[in-house]
Structure formats: structure tokens, C-alpha cells
């Protein structure tokens, strides 16, 4: 985190180009501009690492439907795929 703050402070001095700073700190120019935009946005924790996990899954099964499916499977445990019942396929 301190490295990000130091990087942008060095940039503000005007003594180094973006290319030079990125090479010195081992980051890409794209990463530099992402951090610069975050800092300029005024967010209080702009320098913290963020999760790269997906925020949502558009094709995920809705919670209500999933609950109904689970309830039905519990009510009728005998209805399973053939592989689960020990039946061999030809």
C-alpha cells in the first residue's frame, strides 16, 4: 500500500515520466492509471487491494428456485440420476 502512495507522490513531483515510474516499481502503465483514477476519485481507501472475484453471476439459479429444487429433492429422495442408483449404462 505504501508503494502505491509513494509512486503517485513521485509522479506528482514531475521528475519522472509515467514510463520511468512504472519500470522502477515493476507495474504496467495500465495499473498506474487505474491507481491514479482511484486516487483522484476521492475514495478514502483508494490504495487498498481489491478483490478480483466476480460480483455477480448473471446465469446463476435464483435463490427461490434453488430452494424449491432442494425441497423437492428432499421430499422425493428416490428420484435421482441413474448413475446414483448403481445402474450401469450400456
Q: Where are the domains of the chain?
A: 2-40
d(C-alpha 86, C-alpha 82), whole Å:
7
d(C-alpha 72, C-alpha 53), whole Å:
31
* pLDDT at residue 32, as a whole number: 86
Tens of pLDDT, residue by residue, the chain (90 residues)? 677 778 878 888 888 888 998 898 898 999 888 888 888 877 766 666 766 688 788 888 999 999 999 999 999 988 877 765 555 555
* pLDDT at residue 67, as a whole number: 95
d(C-alpha 48, C-alpha 26), whole Å:
18
* pLDDT at residue 87, as a whole number: 57
* pLDDT at residue 69, as a whole number: 92
Amino acid at each position: 500500500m505504501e508503494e502505491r502512495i509513494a509512486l503517485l507522490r513521485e509522479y506528482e513531483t514531475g521528475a519522472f515520466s509515467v514510463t520511468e515510474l512504472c519500470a522502477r516499481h515493476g507495474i504496467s502503465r495500465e495499473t498506474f492509471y487505474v491507481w491514479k483514477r482511484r486516487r483522484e476519485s476521492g475514495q478514502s481507501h483508494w490504495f487498498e487491494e481489491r478483490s478480483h472475484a466476480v460480483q455477480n453471476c448473471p446465469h446463476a439459479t435464483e435463490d427461490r428456485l434453488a430452494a424449491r429444487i432442494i425441497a423437492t429433492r428432499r421430499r422425493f429422495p428416490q428420484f435421482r440420476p441413474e448413475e446414483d442408483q448403481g445402474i450401469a449404462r450400456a
